[in-house]
Amino acid sequence: MTNKLPFEAIAIIGAGTMGAEISLRSAEHGYSVCVYDVSREAIARTRDEHLDVTEARQRSGRMTAREARAILERIRYTTDLSSSCANAALVIEAVPEVLALKRQVFAELDRLCPPETILATNSSSLRVALMEDATQRLDKVLNLHFFLPVREAPMVEIMGGTQTSSETVDLARRYAIAAGLTPLVVREQSTGFLFNRVWRAIKKECLRVVDQGIASFEDIDRAWMIMYDTPRGPFGQMDAIGLDVVRDIELVYYGESGDPSDRPPQILLDKIARGELGIKTAKGFYAYPHPLYEDPNWLRGARD
């Protein structure tokens, strides 16, 4: 397997939900991975999550103890940024959706990484062109956007900046394919890339319908789940993403357009103000770990 991999080692910057999933997926497919975060607590949570996932897969018979051990041995965890990327051929930034922070991270990575290292951002909406000039390697930067949960949506969007080389894009495609992910190449720069432009229109309208009192979020989710036979609806999906992340993405669009209709709706802001951020806080539009949308009786409209 190893000789098929385009990179010997990669680094993931940010040990949040997305960083944890990207790193585990990469290690499962043979990559040597280093996970960095400034927070020791975040590192500990990600390490525990990796242990929990591999143990659950062993119990279900989908993975042997030997396979689990090999995967975990490929992952290193650190709070030292310099050591995390010193030998990485690909570095994937997965920090919060704040442009100033991402530019700061890109500048630091550019300083610390070998000159041949490719720098990728996992941003959900921000074009790499907005952060590329924080580096001296404009031909080696790109968007590499994963979807949550990675196991349910095994695909990645790839989009270059103003001077990204075709070789960089091709290496990113090869990385994705080797990690069992379908590469989706965005040919022209686009805020929201490919899928998220479509998804953004859906979630924006869903939020507006509820914010205007037209329908409940439960009925919108019921309609979606029945029509498309999905395990959750748009509001359940927003809970999985994190409502604070949804707000940050909406602010990117609003910052670009200035259109009042692009502002995050009040229903979303109220949830965030109460600390109801979704699955990660056990409360968002639904309560977790057992949200109502998992109940067949709820889907039939028998209860809310």
55 found inside a domain: yes
205 and 277 housed in the same domain: yes
Q: How confident is the model at residue 4 (pLDDT cuts 50, 70, 90)?
A: confident
298 found inside a domain: no
- Kind plus residue range of the DSSP H or E element containing 298: helix 296-299
24 found inside a domain: yes
Please report how the helices 40-59 and 65-73 are oriented relative to each other, as an axis angle in degrees rounded to 10.
160
Total domains in the chain come to 2
159 and 223 housed in the same domain: no
Closest CA to 271 of 238, 249, 295: 238
Q: Which residues of 288-299 are buried (b: 16+ CB within 10 A; e: fewer)?
A: beebbbeeeebb
- For the stretch 65-85, pLDDT in tens is 999 999 999 999 999 999 999
129 and 229 housed in the same domain: no
- For the stretch 192-209, pLDDT in tens is 899 988 999 999 999 999
Q: What is the pLDDT of residue 196?
A: 84
Write down which residue in 137, 156, 185 finishes a domain.
185
Q: How confident is the model at residue 189 (pLDDT cuts 50, 70, 90)?
A: confident
44 found inside a domain: yes
Give residue 228's domain range: 197-293
Q: How confident is the model at residue 2 (pLDDT cuts 50, 70, 90)?
A: very low
- What's 266's domain CATH number? 1.10.1040.10
Asked if residue 61 has pLDDT above 90, the reply is: yes
Closest CA to 164 of 191, 184, 204, 135: 135
19 and 95 housed in the same domain: yes
152 and 227 housed in the same domain: no
Q: Is the peptide bond before 149 cis (omega within 30 degrees of 0)?
A: yes
40 and 178 housed in the same domain: yes
- For the stretch 36-56, pLDDT in tens is 999 999 999 999 999 999 999
What's the pTM? Answer: 0.80
